[in-house]
């Protein structure tokens, strides 16, 4: 029960900030995909940078565990491409569709229904995919610092610096 309340409160805060950042709009999501408006990229990358530093700090202090997903090239590459096609058509991603509906953009309902339908189709296809696509290029649960053989605090500043350079370029180009 406690976890459900934690989930609701966390979602409330996140949804509030998504709306404040104006990243729930179809126009903003399509704007990013059309390389015309980088608002959602600014939001996401800022979030990733803070999250990366914060979560690795917690991890080093023994206060949290990393949640590393397996790197399997087949499903990640094909799934990413398929997701991109769907995202471009819908103009909302799974999380932002709920937020878009919250701010009154009710075309998100069609997307939410489609996503529930797509999830059902995926569940049907899973046994077949598991014995095929999921066996292509399985590298297990790896991280970049692990692959490079360096401490994560050498990798993190590089990512932060790259994000800052990208942000400066966005502002210069007024994207």
Partner 1 sequence: MKKNENGGWSPYLAGALAGLVGVFSVWFAGQYFGASTSFVRTAGMIEQLFGPERVAGMEYFIKVAPTIDWQWMFVMGIFFGSFISAVTSGSFKFQAVPDMWARRFGARSVGRRALVAFVGGAVAMFGARLADG
Shortest spacing between CB 53 and partner 1, in angstroms: 8
Distance CA 148, CA 59 (A): 19
- Nearer to partner 1 among residue 9 and residue 158 (C-beta): 9
DSSP assignment letter at 150: S
CA distance 93 to 82: 13
At residue 72, the 3 state secondary structure works out as strand
In this structure, what DSSP letter does residue 63 have? S
Beta carbon nearer to partner 1, 90 or 155: 90
Cβ distance to partner 1 smaller for residue 16 or 154: 16
Identify which of residues 5 and 35 has a Cβ nearer to partner 1 in the complex.
5
CB of residue 113 to partner 1, shortest distance in Å: 6
Taking alpha carbons only, the member of 47, 28, 2, 23 closest to residue 95 is 23
Q: Which is nearer to partner 1, 61 or 149 (CB)?
A: 61
Distance (Å, whole) CA 99 – CA 76: 26
| 22 Rama class: left (phi>0) / alpha (psi -120 to 50) / beta | left
138 bridge partner residues: 72
Min dist CB 87 to partner 1, Å, is 5
Report, in Å, the least distance between residue 149 CB and partner 1.
Answer: 25
DSSP label at residue 107: T
At its nearest, how many Å lie between partner 1 and the CB of residue 52? 8
């Amino acid at each position: 029960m406690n976890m459900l309340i934690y989930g609701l409160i966390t979602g409330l805060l996140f949804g509030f900030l998504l709306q404040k950042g104006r990243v729930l709009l179809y126009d903003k999501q399509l704007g990013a995909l059309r390389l015309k408006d980088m608002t959602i990229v600014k939001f996401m990358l800022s979030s990733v940078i803070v999250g990366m530093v914060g979560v690795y700090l917690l991890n080093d202090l023994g206060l949290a565990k990393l949640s590393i997903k397996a790197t399997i090239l087949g499903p990640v590459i094909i799934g990413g491409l398929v997701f991109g096609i769907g995202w471009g058509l819908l103009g909302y991603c799974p999380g932002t569709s709920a937020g878009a509906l919250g701010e009154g953009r009710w075309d998100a309902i069609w997307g939410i229904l489609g996503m529930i339908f797509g999830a059902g189709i995926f569940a049907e296809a899973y046994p077949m995919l598991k014995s095929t696509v999921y066996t292509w290029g399985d590298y297990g649960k790896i991280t970049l610092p692990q692959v490079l053989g360096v401490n994560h605090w050498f990798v993190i500043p590089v990512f932060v610096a790259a994000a800052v350079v990208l942000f400066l370029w966005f502002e210069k180009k007024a994207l």
